[in-house]
Structure 1
Amino acid sequence: MKTRLLIMLISALLAMESMARNTQGHIVVVSDIHLLSPELVTPGSAIDRIDAADSKMIAQSDDIMTAITDSIIALKPALVLLAGDLTYNGERLSHERMAKHLDRMAAAGIQPLVIPGNHDCNNPYARRFDGDKTSATPTVTREEFAQIYSNYGYGKKFQRDTASLSYCCEPIPGVVIIGIDSNMDENNTLKSRGDSTDTYHNGGRIKPETLQWVIDRASQARGQGKRIIAMMHHHLVPHFDQQDRFLANYIVRNHNAIAPQLMEACIHAIFT
């Protein structure tokens, strides 16, 4: 088993090295921007408290995304993968603002692709910051997420999984991208939608039917001699010993069984 895993790893590295030699095949990966739209912020103690307590630099997030977009346009990669947590807490206005940044990349001839993170959909904690107060602001449903990012993973030109927000496309000839939805926000409840309480699930899992869909797409691409790269928000392999024990919500459930199946399907790399 160890020998087979080593062979798969070496093959993946050789595939990535070959692609890197093609300057038109450069890929940029971005994750966890947690953008908060400036429209949702009036300066005051409410946003200051968040900035002081949270290392995400939420108040500066739009400026950070502007700088990232400028750098990407200057670099001119073929593809940008955004692996989830695009927004602070799934605010609709924040998603619309993020889409405008991606529109700038697209106008420069660069293809962005997104996948949602646990903060991005059906989030009961979407808030507006007004001076010293906060108030609720609309979040997005999964359908609304797909609509906002229709050009970046969810339009008619993309193959969609019917059980999740996973999709498949070939933005670079010979390179297939599979976006894997690893979120559990379908289990969230929101008072704003008539539920009795607000609940939020940030753990990760891949539905069995979605896993099979991903394997089928990868097998099809492999049969055509194409390279396969995937992205999802949650980790697929532990980043440190005992992560399952101490930070279980950061890694997909049942990852020990899922990872070998994706490797067997010849997915060359997964960005999270």
Structure 2
Amino acid sequence: MHISFRRLMLVTPLLALFSCSWPEDKTQLPQYRIQSGQDLTILTTTDTHYLSKSLTDYGPAFTQFLAAGDGKQLGYSEELIGALANDIAIRKPDAVIISGDLSNNGEKRSHQDLAKHLKAIEQDTGTRVYVIPGNHDILNPWARKFKGQRRYRADNVTPQKFRNLYQDFGYDEALLEDRDSLSYLAAPSGDLWLLMLDTSQYTNNKQLGHPQLDGRVAASTLQWIDECGKLAADSGAQIVAVMHHSLLDHSEFIQKGFTVNDNAGVIEALTRNGINTALSGHIHIQDISKSSRNDSSIYDIANSALSVYPHQYGMLHYSSADHALDYNTFKLDLEMWAQATRLHR
């Protein structure tokens, strides 16, 4: 899949609802890893649904769980992350995005082990990793470990614990963080910034007894987006939004619970700040939708789940010469990873 599109110019004034936290002393501006005027390549994936190998013996209870699932290859979590790391080492993107559902069902151990894998990727390749939570990741009552014929409850994580575990993957280098969600604004380059939106709802999970499927963006977070937009406009940067839930519909049959609630309000907040591209996950299918209204257009690129066949990811290329974005998909090269692994044994 391939798409190429140019930056849409901002045609409406930004809403100055907040005082900007950008420092007055320009010497304090962030030291971008990729300076203005340089191209940027981002590998974007989602729904890794990583399950720590310490949480299963691959026995009858685990096999039964898989049989009742939706095609996630949980028994190969280590292999899929290993192959992803190998593809990153080969393609050498400047950044990697994982847009939620990092873990199978929010198990604390799965998050801990995945964070170790992501740290190794950064150290081995020099590629920066950015993450946001999905609806499976936080306060999930379904967190389980599998042994023999039985499933046992496993520890899950709170929002603060999630941030602590993944502080090295976007949060601690954020230009701005939202007070009311795990959303943040990151700047992998001087020209292209990432609005990492936490669209998941997890405060009612314990009462519900399951992870809440649908997503939303609070009114206060929509206002916070204006602060991010002003910061980017003042710096001459373009923003790409990243979210777990779909911004636009990607199926005639599956919309409720997958397209973010009140998506019209989210679209309005993004487009008034010059944001015309969003990357999403959750629905587990590869698709691109476009919406046009009030002389503004916005694309939503839904990435297929890395944990589900055909195990593919996207590559987003930003051209500084014409401020254009180019998007392609690639299948995870499991065969090459397997050969490389055998050679190193």
Letter in 2 for 1:212: Q
The alpha-carbon distance between structure 1 residues 136 and 158, as it changes in their structure 2 partners (threshold 3 A), is: farther
Corresponding residue to 1:11 among 4, 7, 20:
7
Letter in 1 for 2:167: S
Aligned residue for 1:36? 51
Per mean C-alpha deviation after superposition, the further-off stretch among 121-130 and 61-70 is 61-70
- 1:73-222 superposed matches below 5 A: 73-107=89-123, 108-155=125-172, 157-189=174-206, 198-222=209-233
Deviations 1:76-119 (A, max 9, x none): 10000100000000001100111112112210210000000000
- C-alpha separation in 1, matches of 2:99 and 2:57: 29
Per mean C-alpha deviation after superposition, the further-off stretch among 166-175 and 106-115 is 166-175
Deviation beyond 3 Å, 4+ runs, structure 1:
none
The structure whose RCO (Cα within 8 Å, separation 6+) is larger is 2
Corresponding residue to 2:238 among 227, 231, 237:
227
The Cα shift of 1:159 comes to 2.0
Corresponding residue to 1:26 among 41, 44, 48:
41
Are 2:174 and 2:185, in contact at CA under 8 Å, matched by a contact in 1? no
- C-alpha separation in 1, matches of 2:176 and 2:137: 21
Are 1:24 and 1:78, in contact at CA under 8 Å, matched by a contact in 2? no
Corresponding residue to 1:51 among 63, 66, 82:
66
Are 2:192 and 2:237, in contact at CA under 8 Å, matched by a contact in 1? yes
Q: Does 1:252 align with 2:248?
A: no
Deviations 1:148-206 (A, max 9, x none): 0001122265421111000012112222111001011022216xxxxxx7343121100
The Cα shift of 1:10 comes to 4.4
Unpaired runs of 5+ in structure 1? 1-8, 14-18, 191-196
Letter in 1 for 2:279: F
Deviations 1:26-53 (A, max 9, x none): 1000100100000101121111112223
- C-alpha separation in 1, matches of 2:210 and 2:57: 27
- C-alpha separation in 1, matches of 2:190 and 2:184: 17
- C-alpha separation in 2, matches of 1:62 and 1:28: 19
- The alignment partner of 1:189 has SS state of helix
- C-alpha separation in 1, matches of 2:109 and 2:204: 23
Unpaired runs of 5+ in structure 2? 10-33, 281-345
More helix by share: 1
More strand by share: 2
TM-score relative to the length of structure 2: 0.68
Aligned residue for 2:248? 237
- C-alpha separation in 2, matches of 1:143 and 1:261: 26
The Cα shift of 1:12 comes to 4.7
Deviations 1:1-31 (A, max 9, x none): xxxxxxxx74359xxxxx9xx8851100010
Are 2:96 and 2:130, in contact at CA under 8 Å, matched by a contact in 1? yes
Letter in 2 for 1:236: L
- C-alpha separation in 1, matches of 2:58 and 2:77: 14
**Corresponding pairs, count:** 248
Aligned residue for 2:278? 270
TM-score relative to the length of structure 1: 0.85
- C-alpha separation in 2, matches of 1:53 and 1:132: 15
- The alignment partner of 1:56 has SS state of coil
- C-alpha separation in 2, matches of 1:259 and 1:83: 18
